[in-house]
Amino acid sequence: MTTESALTAGTALTAGTAGTAGTAGTAGTAGTAVTSGNDLPPVRFDTKIAVLLREDLEPWQRLNVTAFLVSGLGTTVPEVIGEPYEDADGVPYLPMFRQPVLVFEGTKETLAAAHARVLSRALPRAVFTSDLFTTGNDRDNRAAVRAVPKDQLDLVGLAVYGPRNAVDKALKGARMHR
């Protein structure tokens, strides 16, 4: 599939070695590139948005956790948000992330190690714990996280944003989501 036809079909393409190497340590080391199908050069990002999911989640949980996690980045790191969209009829749409979101998976231990590395690097992050599957609102979600020390959180998901190399190092040992 060509870049142009993939984007026409709505698929974001990323450069790097993530698809072949399959580990966070090498994912996107060449940078993330997206083309718009015109004659402009690809846009390359020095930063990375990544989500790490625990590998034992059900499909509906993976989608739910990913959606919740990335919502935190867009509200606290405004530079990750692009411009509003508009179709040919002039109908406006909300802005989205300006760059691809890479989704990884790993064991409970991989997630705990990544969490520790993200904290040590002070990278912007969001967490989702197993307790959040039993709550039904933001107040109870925050209380569930607040009740557990950081080293004892039962993490099922982690979102992180930062310089490409720092994110790659933080997610070392994770593999691209299948």
pLDDT 10s digits, 46-105: 999 999 999 999 999 999 999 999 998 988 999 999 999 999 999 999 999 999 999 999
Q: The pTM is what?
A: 0.78
Contacts 24+ apart (CB under 8 A), 137-142: none
Q: pLDDT-based confidence at 33, cuts 50/70/90? A: low
Given a cut of 90, whether residue 20 has pLDDT beyond it is: no
Q: pLDDT-based confidence at 41, cuts 50/70/90? A: confident
How large is the average pLDDT for residues 136-160?
97
Higher per-residue pLDDT: 137 or 5 = 137
Per-residue pLDDT of 97-143, as tens digits, reads 999 999 999 999 999 999 999 999 999 999 999 999 999 999 999 99
Higher per-residue pLDDT: 34 or 177 = 177
Which strand (E) or helix (H) includes residue 9?
none
- What are the E-state strand segments in the chain? 32-34, 43-45, 47-54, 85-86, 92-93, 101-106, 125-129, 155-163, 175-176
3-state secondary structure of 53: strand
d(CA 151, CA 63) in angstroms, rounded, equals 25
Q: pLDDT-based confidence at 34, cuts 50/70/90? A: low
The pLDDT assigned to 43 comes to 84
The full set of domain ranges for the chain reads 46-176
Contact call for residues 160 and 170 (beta carbons, < 8 A): yes
Given a cut of 70, whether residue 13 has pLDDT beyond it is: no
Instruction: Specify the CATH architecture of the domain 46-176.
Output: 3-Layer(aba) Sandwich (3.40)
